[in-house]
Structure 1
Amino acid sequence: MTGSSRFCVYLTHPEVAIDPAVPVPAWGLSETGRTRAARAALLPWAGAIRHVVSSAERKAIETAEIFAAAHRLPVTIVEATHENDRSATGFLPPAEFEEVASAFFAAPGQSVRGWERAIDAQARIVSAVRQVVASAPAGAPVLFCGHGGVGTLLKCHLLGVGITRRHDQSCGGNWYMFDPLDLERRQADTLDWTAL
């Protein structure tokens, strides 16, 4: 990362307790997910974080709260950082979900089975992250706790590349560090997902 000493981290929630009878945004972390989420608080950059931001989805909030509690920080909820809106289909079995997710990334200007378009989800997450960075004190590192879909869309923006699933995480519970200057210049070198 070059250009400034300030940094931000995007962290995706790890494993969730899947319940087809419960709306996806209300899913919480599984025990494995909670154990993995706690590892974030021990990472080398963790002590420098001054702001913790989460989407309003339970699994992201729980991820943020575990980190924030370890460092005695508050959690700020930013609704606009939610995952791509998949309410049109609700829960999908894993194989079907992966198929639809691939179509979501492959046709960013189209609504796949009623899902939010990838281009709209990207514009939303980029705008929300910009607003958080602009409102935080100068130089204060920010941790964003969120989701794989919009985290990948943000990553594509920071890299200055088109929307593609090639930059997606392999599973939940990953993070990348980025220079907030790349929100505008879009010239990040590499933003590799790192597993918790």
Structure 2
Amino acid sequence: MRALYLTHPQVQIDPDVPVPQWGLSAIGRTRAEAFAARALIPAGAALFASAEHKAVELAAIIGQRIGSVARLDREMGENDRSATGFLPPERFEATADRFFAHPLESIEGWERAFDAQARIVAAVTRAMAAAEPAPLVVFCGHGAVGTLLKCYLGGWAIARSEDQSRIGDPGGGNGFAFDLEGRRLHCDWTPLEALTAELVTGSLPLSKGVVSQGPSCE
């Protein structure tokens, strides 16, 4: 069964609000609405989302267009960073680099990348089984766990170089299409604006050589 993993676009950053409760910014909502308006997601698609507010907002925008209500799953949430809470951008980037570079270690109390990967793979596997026989399964989630899922699907080591910030739009709002059963990626991180019906509904698997070149897809 074909699936599409999407990350929420830009959020309204507020150091005084817990990160899971952040919502989409005006730019993020505009991008999400423009994507939904392009009607790339077919009616009858199964829709799942992380329970974090920004992912729920993205799913609601898509769901309104296709007439579906997203099923929420906390196990699809972003890597747990509650030990540090909000971090200024420079410190966050340095900590994220270490998170990906040392997947078996808890960086500053963060959930280990190894554990977050196991969690998102298990959640996606359960959702795909529950979604039969939908024509497409759409996941609305987050950049870090999405990257961990992508690395699993590609059979690659966990690495920051596979993150959406290195390949897609650094502000978020990217997606990749995949087949879980065959562990195949059909495209790498691709901005919402560059996703096409062909990428969403059918294309050839990516080779690792293409992935390293950026967001283009076969």
The corresponding residue for 2:89 is 94
Query: How many residues end up aligned between the 2 structures?
Result: 187
Indicate the residue corresponding to 2:127 in structure 1: 132
Deviation (angstroms), 1:92: 0.4
Question: What's the offset of the Cα at 1:189?
Answer: 5.3
Contact 2:7 2:174 in 1 (8 A): yes
Q: Distance in 2 between matches of 1:99 and 1:48?
A: 41
- Gap change, CA 1:189 and 1:58, over 3 Å in 2: closer
> 1:138 Cα deviation (Å)?
2.6
Distance 1:89 1:162 in 2: 26
Q: Which amino acid aligns with 2:124?
A: V
Change (3 A) 1:189 1:68: closer
> Larger RCO: Structure 1 or Structure 2 (Cα < 8 Å, ≥ 6 residues apart)?
1
Q: What does the per-residue CA deviation read over 1:2-38, in whole Å, with 9 as the maximum and x for residues that have no partner?
A: xxxx310000000000000000000000010000111
Structure-2 residue corresponding to 1:181: 181
Q: State TM-score, norm by structure 1.
A: 0.91
2:17 corresponds to which residue? 22
Letter in 2 for 1:109: L
**RMSD after superposition:** 1.4
Structure 2 Cα separation of the partners of residues 194 and 44 of structure 1: 17
Aligned to 1:135, what secondary structure does the other structure show? helix
- Structure 1 residue 45: Cα displacement: 3.6
Amino acid at match of 2:119: R
Fraction of identical pairs, as percent: 52
Name which of 77, 81, 103 aligns with 1:82: 77
Name the structure 1 match of 2:205.
none
Structure 1 unaligned residues grouped into runs of 5+: 1-5
Change in CA separation of 1:153 and 1:106 when aligned onto 2, cut-off 3 Å: same
Q: Quick one: structure 1 residues 153 and 180, their matched pair in 2 at CA, closer, same or farther if it must change by over 3 Å?
A: same
User: CA separation in 2, counterparts of 1:55 and 1:140?
Assistant: 21
* 8 Å contact from structure 2 (residues 177, 186) kept in 1: no
**Where in structure 2 are the equivalents of 1:6-85 lying within 5 Å?**
6-43=1-38, 45-47=40-42, 50-85=45-80
**Aligned-partner Cα distance in 2 for 1:67–1:32:** 16
1:57 to 1:9, Cα distance in 2 relative to 1, 3 A: same
Moved over 3 A (4+): 42-45
Change (3 A) 1:77 1:57: same
